[in-house]
């Protein structure tokens, strides 16, 4: 979920796995106004939430400034052309990992689909794109990531100060460890990479143990991803996207991410809509840069919902295409088994 750093939902670890205790990068010298910014934030949180300001100041001063986090924020992968971006995610290892994850969690994925309407391959692909099914859930302490971005990254300081506030509340509500929890350079946690605000808003207790645990419970991870999609308008049984030929693109259509083009504009050009799509529905034109020119797709409502997880058409297309490859391999394997 990377542009959702601007609105990221998550980062979590499933399957009972624990976040690896990898050593974080060595901290660099913080900016001169770091201590003042930490103290001001702590006093504000104490007033807002009634916390002990002295204790909170002590806790927040354990956050370590990480220059590598600032560097990572300034070079997101979504700046790549599609043909380069796709190679990162649509590869045999990630497809095979998706099949394995689906088989290992078949009952949970089926239960999530029944409840929220989100297909297993979509939930699986999200987790595959985000963290390679939990293998790469982040090496930074969440406190360091959010502290660095809240106190030393003016461009997004307001957003990440809110995420630090939400993380402190998660620590209180869900007993998430304040100092040892690891995540991405943007403070996203666990297998599904939920940022703290998304964790608090959309995480669910899918294993009924009384806790919403995206760091250790695969069940909670699967349920939370499905709930996130459902809350953002996923339509059960509806298609996601349709590849277009150049002659099927009407003139003067916007390249806006939001579905705002009546599909009649495309059916008039001879586009055969996929099952479940109606001419009265709205879609969006997605243009992707290949080495030898542009590739065009019609994004439907569910494609837009994927972009709510990460505000990028590249990201959503990677998730969709990975999900299709995983489904295809599952079906092929089942055929050979029989």
Helix, strand, coil proportions of the chain in percent (round to 5)?
Answer: 50, 10, 40
Q: Give the Cα separation of 135 and 118 in Å (integer).
A: 23
Write out the catalytic residue numbers.
130
Kindly write down the DSSP assignment for every residue of 7-56, as one continuous string: T--BB---TT-----PPPPPP-PPPTTHHHHHHHHHHHHHHHH---HHHH
The answer to whether the beta carbons of residues 323 and 124 sit under 8 Å apart is yes
Q: Tell me which DSSP letter residue 179 carries.
A: T
Give the Cα-Cα-Cα angle 145, 148, 154 (nearest 5 degrees): 125
Q: Give the Cα separation of 79 and 85 in Å (integer).
A: 9
What residues does 294 pair with on adjacent strands? 289
The answer to whether the beta carbons of residues 255 and 244 sit under 8 Å apart is no
Token pair 């439907």: residue: 300
Q: Give the Cα separation of 199 and 185 in Å (integer).
A: 16
């Amino acid at each position: 979920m990377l542009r959702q750093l601007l609105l990221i939902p998550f980062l979590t670890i499933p399957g009972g796995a624990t976040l690896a205790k990898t050593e974080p990068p060595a901290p660099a010298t913080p900016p001169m106004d770091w201590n003042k910014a930490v103290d001001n934030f702590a006093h504000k949180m104490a007033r807002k939430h009634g916390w002990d300001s002295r204790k909170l100041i002590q806790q927040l001063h354990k956050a370590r400034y990480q220059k590598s986090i600032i560097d990572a924020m300034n070079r997101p992968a979504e700046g790549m052309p599609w043909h380069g971006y796709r190679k990162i995610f649509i590869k045999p290892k990630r497809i095979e990992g998706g099949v394995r994850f689906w088989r290992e969690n078949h009952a949970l994925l089926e239960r999530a689909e029944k409840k929220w309407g989100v297909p297993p391959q979509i939930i699986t692909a999200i987790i595959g794109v985000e963290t390679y099914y939990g293998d790469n859930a982040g090496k930074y302490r969440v406190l360091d990531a959010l502290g660095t971005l809240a106190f030393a990254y003016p461009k997004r300081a307001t957003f990440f100060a809110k995420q630090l506030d939400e993380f402190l509340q998660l620590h209180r509500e869900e007993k998430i460890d304040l100092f040892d929890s690891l995540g991405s350079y943007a403070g996203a946690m666990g297998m599904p990479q939920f940022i703290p605000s998304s964790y608090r808003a959309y995480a669910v207790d899918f294993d009924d143990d009384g806790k919403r645990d995206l760091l250790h419970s695969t069940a909670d991870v699967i349920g939370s991803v499905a709930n996130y999609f459902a809350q953002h308008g996923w339509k059960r049984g509806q298609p996601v996207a349709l590849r277009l030929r150049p002659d099927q693109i009407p003139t003067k259509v916007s390249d806006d991410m939001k579905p705002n083009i009546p599909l009649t504009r495309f059916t008039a050009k001879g586009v055969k809509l996929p099952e479940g799509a109606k001419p009265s529905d709205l879609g969006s034109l997605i243009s992707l840069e290949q080495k030898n020119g542009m590739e065009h797709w019609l994004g439907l409502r569910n494609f837009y919902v994927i972009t709510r997880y990460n505000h990028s058409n590249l990201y959503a297309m990677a998730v969709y295409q990975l999900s299709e490859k995983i489904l295809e391999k599952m079906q092929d394997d089942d055929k050979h088994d029989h």
